[in-house]
Amino acid sequence: MDAPSPQPPAAVVRHGPLVRITHWLNAVFLAGMIGSGLQIYTAYAHFGYHGETFNVPNPIDGSRMAVPHAIKLGGWLAGGLRWHFTLAWPFVLTGLAYVLFLLFSGEWRALLFRPSDVPGAWQMTRYYLRLRKDHPPQGKHNPLQKSAYTFAIVLAVLSILSGFAIAKPVQLGFLTDLFGGYEWARYWHMVAVWTFTAFIIAHVVMVFVADPGSFRAIITGRYRGKFVERPRA
C-alpha cells in the first residue's frame, strides 16, 4: 500500500504587503529602466572617449544593431531618455521604501549577509555542487540567498549612483570622480546593470528549480512550500 501523501504544511505568513508591492513594482520599473537604458546605450554603443578605444570587456560593442530592437524601450535616443528619466524616480523611491522598511521593521535580520553567514554559504554551495547530499537546514533564507539579496541591494545602489554620475558629471562631479570620471562611470553603470541582470536570471531560475512555493508567497504573502521555517536558535 502506498504511503499516504503528506499533508501540505500549514501556510505561514512570509512576506508582508510592503515587501510584495515593492518587489513587483520594481520588477516592472527595472524592466523599463533596462529597456530604455539599452535604447540610450545604442546611441553610442562603445565606451571611452569618442574615437578612442577603451580597453574594457564589452560584449555589446558596436552599432545600433548591437542590441536587438525587441528589448529596447523608447524607439530612439530621446524616447529612451524620456522613459529612463521618468521611471528612475519611482524606481528609486520604491527601492528606498523597501530599504527603509527593512531597517525599521527589523526584517533586515532575515536578509542581511554577515560574516557569520560565510560557513553556511559554503555549505549551500557544496550542496548545489552536489558535494553534499542533504540540504542544510535553513530559516527564511539560507546564507547563499542572503548573499544574493544583500548584493542585489548593493548593485541597485551602485546602478543608481553611477546613473546620476553620468547624468550630472558637472553638478555631481564629486560623484562622477568617485567612479573614475565620466567614461568609467558610464562603464560601471553598464557593469552594474549586467550583473543585476545575471542576478535576476539566477533568481528566477532558482525560484522554480529550488522552491516554487516561494513564488506564490511573494504574490499572496503566504508560504506553503517545502522549506519549513525554523526559529532562529
Partner 1 sequence: MSRIIHRREFLRITAPVIPLGLAACGWDGGKRLQPLFDKVIDANNRAGERLLAIRHAEVNPLQLEHGQMPAYFISEGMPLLKDPAAWRLEVGGLVRKPTQFTPEMLAALPHLNYSITHHCVEGWSVVKRWGGVPFTMIGALVEPKPEAKYVQFDSFDSDYMNGWDIESAMHPQTILADSFEGKPITPAHGAPLRLYSPIKLGYKLTKYLTRVTFTDKKPGGYWEDRGYPWFGGL
The SS3 call for residue 13 is: strand
Q: How far is the CB of 228 from partner 1 (least distance, A)?
A: 16
- In the shown chain, the binding pattern of residues 109 to 148 toward partner 1, with x for contact by CB under 8 A and - for none, equals ----------------------------------------
* 180 makes contact with partner 1 (CB under 8 A): no
The phi and psi torsions of 222 (rounded to 5 degrees) equal: -105, 135
- Return the C-alpha cell found at 130: 552536489
Alpha carbon distances (Å) from 84 to 79, 87, 123, 134, 186: 9, 5, 40, 45, 15
Stretch that binds partner 1, among 9-17, 42-50, 107-115, 118-126 (CB under 8 A): 42-50
- In the shown chain, the binding pattern of residues 152 to 171 toward partner 1, with x for contact by CB under 8 A and - for none, equals --------------x-xxxx
CB-based burial label for 202 (10 Å; 0-12, 13-18, 19+): exposed
Binding residue (CB under 8 A) for partner 1 from 4, 7, 17, 50: 50
CA atoms of 208 and 159, how far apart (whole Å) = 27
Residues that bind partner 1 (CB under 8 A): 5, 28, 31, 35, 39-41, 43-44, 46, 48-52, 69-79, 81-83, 85-86, 89, 166, 168-171, 173, 182-183, 186, 204, 208, 212, 215-216
